[in-house]
Amino acid sequence: MNIALIGYGKMGKAIEEIALQRGHTIALKIDIDTAAEFTKTNLNKCDVAIEFTGPHSAVQNILTCIDAGTPVVSGSTGWLDKWNEVKKECETKSGSFLYASNYSVGVNIFFELNKKLAALMSQHAEYDVSMTEIHHTQKKDAPSGTAITLAEQILENIDRKTKWVNEPSSKKDDLNIISERIDPAPGTHIIKYSSPIDDIEIIHTAHNRTGFATGAVLAAEFLINKKGIYSMKDVLGF
């Protein structure tokens, strides 16, 4: 398939490498230097777009692809306050859109483990739960989109936590997320349950961007010839 890469930074280059290995063609590369090429005409030459930019440009990039009728996979985070706008536009124009806060197969398995552990711990009030996420210093949003997904899963399962906060908090109903920015960390997420007796932790550590890139290409392959809004749960059959 012919792929448009919207965002050609480190993730874009990693996606390109995996896509070429899987026999696909990169028909369009959009970054700050080639923004003028981000047109409906060029998008119509592509079977699918993969969008990895940032929170301030993601929504317009996604809408541009939907308007062109090009299926779009997005991995940008930090823009979900505009989710309803994107959803409405996709539905109105019979678009094809797939979003995930993290495309790594391992992370999506981690999501399922997180939900299961939170459900088990919901009846054990002696355990307090907290989170830490570690990324490289170029990451523009905090907490990470993956951390927010994990936090929302915990809040859905543990009634004694009512909201997440991105800072240390002594309030018992706050779920603390500590964000650290350290190079060259591609991404680590830690969920910790602590009691006076013991601690229980689950940790996902990415060694490089390959897992994210592979998942994004798998998502693009999945989205071809489909209409509607999808997630990695659909891709992986969870």
Q: Which of 24, 139, 161, 189 is catalytic?
A: 139
Separation CA 10–CA 65 (nearest Å): 21
Q: How far is CA 65 from the centre of its chain?
A: 18
Separation CA 147–CA 144 (nearest Å): 5
List phi, psi (to 5°) of 181: -120, 105
Separation CA 20–CA 132 (nearest Å): 34
Q: How many CB atoms lie within 10 A of CB 89?
A: 16
Is 139 annotated as catalytic?
A: yes
CB 136 within 8 A of CB 185: yes
Q: Which of 24, 135, 161, 204 is catalytic?
A: 135
Q: What value, to the nearest 5°, has the Cα angle with vertex 234 and ends 233 and 238?
A: 45
181 has which bridge partners? Answer: 135
Catalytic residues: 135, 139
